[in-house]
Amino acid sequence: MRKTVLKEAAKRFPWVANVTLYGCLFAGGDLAHQLIAQRERIDWKHTRNVAIVAITFHGNFNYFWLRALERRFPGKSAGMVFRKLLLDQSFASPLATSVFYTVSFLEGKEDIFEDWREKFFNTWRTGLMYWPFMQFLNFVLMPLHMRTAFMGCCAFLWASFLCFSRQNGDGTATVALAFIMDP
């Protein structure tokens, strides 16, 4: 019964369901990073800032972006999926990565673009090893009303990587994997 209620709510209120789930999962990725990093205490302020960016921008942007892509390139044919992937990785991915690195604004840093300048290109390149595969699955397997939620599930892992990169790494998968193997 509960499963049916949640499924119906997602269909009836797809924007609220998708954006909320995306934001919670993205913030959960930050929390997972902090737990993996074995910090003495959880930095709830940072998790809150990540959640604010995830809900106000990432979740909303992805919700409307995925619908716009589907309207412009409807269907699941190879050509349509390729077009969606190409646009997503060349436009949406750099934008979303850039917005994440401006979370420094919420932390009161003097130079809010410092992390972006130092880590954006590496992070975007690393994202090209992850997101095209996740988005391919999203475009081919998921119904439109669940695509942002699916991205939120994928973003849980990605947010852990982003938070690590922003605080300890350089935006490359190599440094992140080295950290996971030997924290």
pLDDT at residue 179 in the model: 67
Interacting residues of 119 by C-beta distance below 8 A, sequence separation 6+ = 101, 165, 166, 169, 170, 171
In angstroms, the CA 100 to CA 123 distance is: 11
Provide the residue-wise pLDDT of the chain in tens; the chain has 183 residues: 666 776 777 778 889 888 998 999 999 999 998 888 877 889 999 899 999 999 999 999 999 999 999 999 999 999 999 999 999 999 999 999 999 888 878 888 888 888 888 889 988 999 999 999 999 999 999 998 889 989 999 999 998 888 888 877 777 777 766 766 665
User: 94: burial class by Cβ within 10 Å (0-12, 13-18, 19+)?
Assistant: middle
Domain that holds residue 29: 1-181
- Count: domains in the chain: 1
pLDDT at residue 8 in the model: 79
pLDDT at residue 1 in the model: 62
pLDDT at residue 80 in the model: 97
